[in-house]
Structure 1
C-alpha cells in the first residue's frame, strides 16, 4: 500500500461503484415487486420484467465486485484503524463493516439462488446465462426470496449507519476518516 493512511485507488473505486449500485438496487427492488400483474389495470408487465432483469444483472455485478473487493483488500491491504476512535466507535465501525461484507455477498447470492432454482438461468443483461446448478420447489424459492428481502432490509439499515458514521467523521469530528475512502 503506497499511502498507509488511505485505501488503495482500486479499493476506493470499487467501494463507490458498489455504493451507487446498492443504493439504486433497494428502491428498484421495492418498486418492481410492487408493480401489479394483469388483470390489474395498473399492471405493466413489460416494465416489471425489464426492472427484474436489470435488478438480477446488477445483483450479479455487485456479487462479482464484492469478490474483486476482497481480492484487492488481500493484495493491497487496508489502513490501520484511526487511533483517535473511541472503543465504541471502533466496535461499531468494525461490526458494521463486517456485516456489510457478509451481506454484499449474501444478498445477491440469495436472489441469484432463488431465481436459478425456480426460474432457470439468470441472464446477465439479457445475454449471458449465469446460473447455479440447483432446482427447488416453489416453497423453497419463496423462503429464499424472503431471506433475500430481509437481508436487503438489514443491509439498507447498515448502509444508513455507515453513511451516518462517515458524515459524523466528515462534518463533526473532521478527523480525516472520510478522506481514507474518498476519491481524490
Structure 2
C-alpha cells in the first residue's frame, strides 16, 4: 500500500501531498504576518521560521518528485472530459514547478539582500547563501519574483482545491477520495474477491 497503482495513490504519495500542502498554506499565512509586525525580535523569528519551512518544502518536493518518477501515475478518473484532464495536468505541473521556484527565489532573496542575515534552518544548521550579486536592486527583483510566484501559485492552488471539491460533491467521483485514503484499493480488491 506504500506505492501507487494504476487506480489509486499509495500511502507515501498521499502523505507527501497533504504534508506539503499544509506547509505551503502555513507559509502563505506566515509570509503575510511576518511583514506586518513592528516587533523586530518577533519579525526576525518569523522570517527564520518562514525560511526554514521553505527549505523543508524544497527538500520534500525533491523527494516527492523522485518518488513520483519511481511510481506509476494513477489513470485519470473515467468520465473526465478532455478539457478537465488538460486543466488538471496543467494545474499539477504549475504547482509542482511552484514548489521548487518559490523556495529557490526566497533563497535568492536572502542571498542577495545587503543585510546578509544568516538563515538558521530550524535553529539547527546555517544555510549558506547562493553566489548571487548583493545589492538593493537584486533584492528588489527577487522579492518581487518570490511574492508574485506565491500569489499566482496560491490562486492556482485555490482553483485546484475548488476543482477537487467540485468533483467530490457535485460529480461524486473518486478524484478527491483517492487522495484521502489508500484503503480504497484494498476495499476494491476485497469486493472483487467477494464477488468471485
Name the TM-score, length of structure 1 as normaliser.
Answer: 0.90
The alpha carbon displacement at 1:183 in A equals: 3.5
Cα deviations across residues 46-85 of structure 1 (Å, max 9, x unaligned)? 1111111110000000011110110110112210222311
Instruction: Answer whether contact 1:116 1:122 (CA < 8 A) is retained.
Output: no
Task: Give the greater-gyration-radius structure (CA).
Answer: 2
Which residue pairs with 2:163 in the alignment? 165
**Secondary structure, in 3 states, of the residue corresponding to 1:129?**
strand
1:2 deviates by 5.5
- Decide which of 32, 44, 47 is 1:30's aligned counterpart: 32
* Superposed displacement of residue 121, structure 1: 4.1
2:5/2:72 contact within 8 Å kept = no
User: Aligned pair 1:110/2:112, yes or no?
Assistant: no
Could you say what secondary structure the match of 2:126 adopts?
strand
Q: Which residue of structure 1 aligns with residue 16 of structure 2?
A: 14
> Residue 77 of structure 1 corresponds to which residue in structure 2?
72
What is the rounded CA distance, in whole Å, between the counterparts of 1:133 and 1:147 in structure 2?
A: 16
- Give the Å deviation of 1:147: 0.4
- Kept after mapping to 2: 8 A contact 1:13/1:183: no
Q: Which runs of 4+ in 1 moved over 3 A?
A: none
Other-structure match for 1:130: 127
Structure 1 residue runs of 5 or longer lacking an equivalent are 36-42
For the aligned residue pairs, the C-alpha RMSD in angstroms reads 1.5
Q: Note the C-alpha offset of 1:6.
A: 1.1
